[in-house]
């Protein structure tokens, strides 16, 4: 669920939306210093959300900063929680059943029982009259929410909980419910009822926009699961889906390299010999360097011996025959599945409900982007050529090879530092000050703030977890964010945003009539069908009804082991802003239907709000919001930004090549049986659009794990980067604290979640000629976005 992509980890970016089987309509959650003394602050207690008011003035909210930055104060607060809150555990995230291992098994059983009751009701809707048919989409959404209430929790727990037994229980619950949901996605009776509903104009014309969007999502996911197939073909669909999972897991878990280590003469290492021999095995006068090690990377970056660098590059990018075979079997099986459901390629199957719509449009975007970015790429290659020319004392500019890249980047950077003098020391920021700054920024933009909330007994999974209520000056409480931001032993190192619960309206569920309509005339106890968890509900000022409010969890790996306040590097500050972009999308994207709320939207749209947040970080108007009382040098900020852009042309080209590779591997080429050659496609792409000549006998794609998790979707991050840049320049660059622009972005894009065509959302935000040019979302719109380019 997470791996590094560009500056921001794309695995960190599409991190929790890895659908490893297709067709999860009802199913899947859609989805990376010191502070003053304590004495003056000991009387502070957590806010009572019901009585809290947003401070319309300076929004200092020092309490928010201090619960992250002052460890002694936080310890006192936890002790206070234990004394004032209920001693009886309330369950993880206030979910009653998730207090122990047995609770996950019980919740799974209850979720299936409850789900089957709703399924029965949907099956019988045609015989129960027009009012029941009108409720079909609502009941499908309730079905999805019933299952996802456990699946989303289990997905979160199996990734972050420190107790291995609970992680295992959560993993079992996740797998069991996903298996059950896969059977629902091929349920012909439910599909038939939904199709009847959508064919009835008298019903459809009563739909709200988000209800219609939810209905279309359910219908498409049925279709992607091969609902139109014969019984025999559906069996084949299930078999192919299982094989995809099998090959995908093998692809992720394998040791892909064909060369396990380098056997080197220490003399060839020159100045690197001492550091490498200190950590790598030495035998018979040779040092053995594992190819997947940091030391092998060091050779590529620091060794002045070109032959040695070439040797290291070839070993790092080697592939054993079995790893190539697994990759190609995965691609061919996906092609077979796509062909089975009537699509020419897996890319066509996957892209039909995305902004891109089809593979041709993705190709148009990427090819246009290559053309737009080529001056920056050529500029960067020229810098490397000059560095190599000077180092080798050549008269002409030499060819730069793949194994030269890291080394001459390093040489060039060092030369620039010597020429321009030392860079200013980069500032560091406390976690609390950044959280406080984010709260201030969101108040400026949306009228929203974070308010610390008390944790009840058993509510959190670790003592480091902080709970924040999200309070809107217009709507009141709109959701909850749990923050697990500090490193600890055994914790994953990636940053991630987990949607534990989405928003939806609940007062019109009509759950009390489930048994009556599902089993008419039968005397059945409702105790058999209790929901897997009792969800708290709230009113939202200005909106009719009762709502289930969103709950999300943010996890990071910020170092706080020194005993003092954790300090964030500038990169880590960007990471926190990025993740909070997802959080705001979840909080503000509150629709009446769970399946189109928040970040449940197209995967090539979901990163836009989070990437946009990265543009705010270092703006002179935003920086003072989180710099607290620490001084920072404007020169240091500019030096950091300049260094970020250095060689970004090369990196962007690499990402484009990888996105094209992903498309070609999932194209019709994969359906050609044994004639499909992943190696040939890779080398041709490098020679045609890459910046470095392909290297024979190398096969890096066997290490490209995103091919499994995000098949045919790798272009998404590049696509959202271009959209985010355009929105930033058009709407926020001049004044990033402009409330009018913030509210326009909220109302035209964020609030819709996945309930509105994202092209319409983006066009509405941009307005003017830009909006008109992209509103149709066709191939020309994709070319337009590609031509906007990425700031390098």
Residue numbers annotated as active site: 579
> Which class for 762: exposed (0-12), middle (13-18), buried (19 or more C-beta within 10 A)?
buried
Do the beta carbons of residue 42 and residue 74 sit within 8 Å? no
CB atoms within 10 A of CB 31: 23
Q: CA 383 to CA 412: how far, in whole Å?
A: 7
End-to-end CA distance of the chain: 27
Q: Could you give the CA distance from residue 537 to residue 756 in angstroms, rounded to a whole number?
A: 25
Separation CA 474–CA 49 (nearest Å): 14
What tokens does 310 get? 């070439």
- Quote the CA–CA distance of 386 and 411 in Å, as a whole number: 11
Beta-bridged to residue 452, according to DSSP, are: 468
Cβ atoms of 312 and 300 closer than 8 Å: yes
DSSP state of 345: S
Whether residue 742 contacts residue 446, with contact meaning beta carbons closer than 8 Å, is answered with: yes
DSSP string for 674-732: GG--HHHHHHHHHHHH-SS---TT--GGGG-THHHHTTT-TTHHHHHHHHHHHHIIIII
β-pairing, 551-558 vs 476-486, is: parallel
Whole-number CA gyration radius for the chain: 27
The dihedral region occupied by 110, where left means phi > 0, alpha psi between -120 and 50, and beta the remainder, is alpha
Q: Give the residue from 753, 769, 10 showing the smallest Cα distance to 781.
A: 769
Q: What Cα–Cα distance (Å) separates residue 148 from each residue in 21, 482, 787?
A: 16, 19, 39
- How far apart are the C-alpha atoms of 343 and 433, rounded to whole Å? 51
How many C-beta neighbours within 10 Å does residue 673 have?
Answer: 9
How many alpha carbons lie under 13 Å from residue 464 in its C-beta half-sphere?
24
Q: What angle do CA 87, 91, 92 make, to 5 degrees?
A: 125
Q: How far is CA 78 from CA 45, 433, 489, 595, in A?
A: 11, 21, 21, 35
Cβ–Cβ under 8 Å, residues 724 and 611: yes
CA distance linking residue 629 with residue 380, whole number of Å: 39
Can you tell me which residue has the tokens 């194994």?
403
Other CB atoms closer than 10 Å to residue 285's CB: what's the count?
8
Q: How many CB atoms lie within 10 A of CB 522?
A: 8
* Sign of the alpha-carbon dihedral angle for 437, 439, 443, 445: positive
Nearest-angstrom CA–CA distance, 354 and 217:
11
3-state secondary structure of 483: strand
Q: Are 444 and 466 in contact (CB under 8 A)?
A: no
């Amino acid at each position: 669920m997470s791996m590094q992509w560009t500056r921001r980890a794309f695995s960190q970016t599409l991190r929790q939306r890895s659908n490893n089987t297709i067709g999860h309509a009802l199913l899947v959650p859609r989805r990376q210093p010191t502070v003053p003394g304590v004495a003056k602050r000991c009387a502070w207690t957590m806010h009572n959300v019901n009585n809290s008011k947003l401070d319309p003035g300076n929004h200092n909210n020092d309490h928010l900063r201090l619960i992250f930055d002052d460890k002694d104060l936080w310890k006192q607060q936890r002790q206070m929680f234990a004394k004032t809150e209920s001693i009886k555990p309330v369950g993880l995230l206030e979910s009653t059943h998730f207090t122990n291992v047995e609770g996950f098994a019980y919740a799974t059983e209850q979720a299936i029982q409850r789900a089957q009751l709703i399924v029965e009701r949907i099956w019988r809707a045609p015989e129960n009259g027009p009012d029941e048919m009108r409720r079909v989409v609502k009941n499908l959404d309730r079905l999805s929410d019933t299952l996802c209430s456990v699946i989303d929790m289990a997905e979160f727990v199996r990734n972050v909980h420190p107790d291995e037994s609970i992680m295992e229980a959560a993993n079992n619950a996740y797998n069991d419910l996903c298996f059950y949901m896969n059977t629902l996605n091929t349920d012909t009776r439910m599909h038939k009822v939904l199709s009847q509903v959508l064919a009835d104009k008298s019903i459809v014309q009563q739909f709200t926009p988000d209800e219609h969007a939810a209905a279309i999502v359910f219908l498409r996911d049925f279709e992607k699961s091969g609902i139109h197939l014969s019984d025999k073909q559906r069996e084949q669909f299930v078999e192919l889906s299982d094989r995809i999972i099998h090959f995908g897991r093998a692809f992720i878990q394998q040791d892909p390299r064909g060369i396990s280590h380098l056997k080197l003469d220490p003399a060839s290492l020159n100045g690197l010999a001492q550091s490498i021999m200190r950590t790598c095995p030495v035998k018979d006068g040779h040092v053995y360097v594992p190819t997947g090690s940091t030391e092998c990377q060091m050779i590529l970056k620091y060794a002045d011996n070109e032959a040695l660098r070439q040797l290291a590059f070839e070993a790092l990018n080697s592939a054993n025959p079995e790893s190539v075979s697994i990759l190609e079997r995965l691609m061919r099986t996906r092609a077979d599945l796509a062909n089975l459901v009537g699509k020419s390629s897996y890319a066509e199957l996957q892209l039909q409900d995305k902004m891109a719509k089809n593979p041709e449009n993705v190709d148009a975007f990427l090819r246009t982007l290559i053309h737009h970015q080529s001056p920056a790429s050529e500029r960067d290659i020229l810098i490397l050529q000059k560095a190599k020319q000077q180092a080798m004392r050549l008269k002409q500019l030499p060819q730069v090879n793949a194994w030269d890249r890291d080394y001459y980047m390093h040489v060039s950077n060092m030369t620039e530092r010597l020429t321009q003098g030392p860079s200013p020391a980069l500032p560091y920021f406390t976690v609390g000050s950044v959280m406080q700054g984010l709260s201030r920024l969101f108040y400026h933009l949306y009228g929203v703030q974070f308010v610390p909330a008390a944790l009840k007994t058993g509510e959190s999974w670790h003592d480091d977890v902080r709970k924040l209520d999200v309070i809107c000056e217009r709507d009141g409480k709109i959701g909850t964010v749990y923050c697990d931001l500090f490193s600890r032993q055994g914790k994953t190192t990636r940053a991630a945003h987990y949607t534990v619960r989405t928003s939806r309206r609940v007062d019109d569920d009509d759950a009390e009539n489930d048994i009556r309509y599902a089993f008419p005339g039968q005397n059945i106890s409702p105790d058999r069908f209790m929901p897997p968890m009792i969800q708290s509900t709230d009113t939202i000022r200005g909106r009719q009804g009762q709502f289930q409010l969103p709950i999300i969890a943010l996890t990071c790996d910020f170092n706080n082991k020194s005993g003092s306040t954790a300090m964030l590097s500038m990169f880590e500050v960007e990471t926190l802003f990025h993740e909070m972009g997802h959080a705001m999308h979840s909080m503000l994207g509150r629709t009446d239907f769970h399946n189109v709320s928040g970040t449940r939207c197209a995967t090539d749209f979901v990163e836009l709000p989070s990437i946009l947040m990265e543009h705010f970080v270092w703006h002179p108007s935003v920086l003072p919001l989180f710099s607290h009382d620490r001084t920072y040098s404007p020169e240091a900020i500019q030096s950091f930004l300049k260094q970020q852009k250095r060689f970004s042309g090369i990196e962007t080209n690499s990402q484009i090549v990888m996105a094209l590779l992903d498309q070609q591997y999932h194209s019709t080429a994969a359906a050609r049986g044994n004639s499909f050659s992943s190696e040939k496609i890779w080398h041709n792409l490098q020679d045609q659009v890459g910046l470095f000549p392909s290297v024979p006998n190398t096969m890096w794609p066997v290490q490209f794990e995103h091919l499994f998790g995000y098949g045919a979707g790798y272009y998404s991050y590049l696509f959202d980067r271009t959209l985010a840049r355009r929105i930033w320049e058009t709407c926020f660059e001049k004044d990033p604290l402009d409330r009018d622009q913030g509210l326009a972005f909220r109302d035209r894009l964020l609030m819709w979640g996945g309930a509105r065509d994202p092209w319409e959302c983006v066009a509405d935000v941009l307005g003017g000629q830009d909006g008109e040019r992209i509103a149709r979302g066709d191939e020309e719109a994709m070319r337009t976005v590609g031509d906007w380019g990425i700031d390098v």
